[in-house]
Chains A and B, each alone.
Chain A
Amino acid sequence: AQSVTQLDSQVPVFEEAPVELRCNYSSSVSVYLFWYVQYPNQGLQLLLKYLSGSTLVKGINGFEAEFNKSQTSFHLRKPSVHISDTAEYFCAVTPTGNQFYFGTGTSLTVIP
Chain B
Amino acid sequence: EAGVAQSPRYKIIEKRQSVAFWCNPISGHATLYWYQQILGQGPKLLIQFQNNGVVDDSQLPKDRFSAERLKGVDSTLKIQPAKLEDSAVYLCASSLARGIGEQFFGPGTRLTVL
Q: Which residues of A contact B77 (CB under 8 A)?
A: none
How far, in angstroms, from A4 to B44 measured CA to CA in the complex?
A: 12
A-B contact count (CB 8 A): 56
Q: Mark B92-114, 1 if CB is under 8 A from A, else 0.
A: 01000011111111111000000
Task: For the complex, count residues of B whose C-beta is within 8 A of A.
Answer: 24
Q: Which residues of B contact A42 (CB under 8 A)?
A: 107
How far, in angstroms, from A13 to B45 measured CA to CA in the complex?
A: 31
The SS class assigned to the A binding surface is loop
How far, in angstroms, from A92 to B77 measured CA to CA in the complex?
A: 23
How far, in angstroms, from A102 to B33 measured CA to CA in the complex?
A: 14
Interchain Cβ contacts under 8 Å between A and B, 11 examples: A41-B107, A42-B107, A44-B93, A45-B105, A46-B103, A49-B100, A97-B99, A97-B100, A98-B48, A98-B56, A102-B43
Binding site for A on B (CB under 8 A): 3-4, 40-45, 48, 55-56, 91, 93, 98-108
Binding site for B on A (CB under 8 A): 4, 9, 32, 36, 41-46, 49, 51, 90, 92, 94, 96-100, 102-105
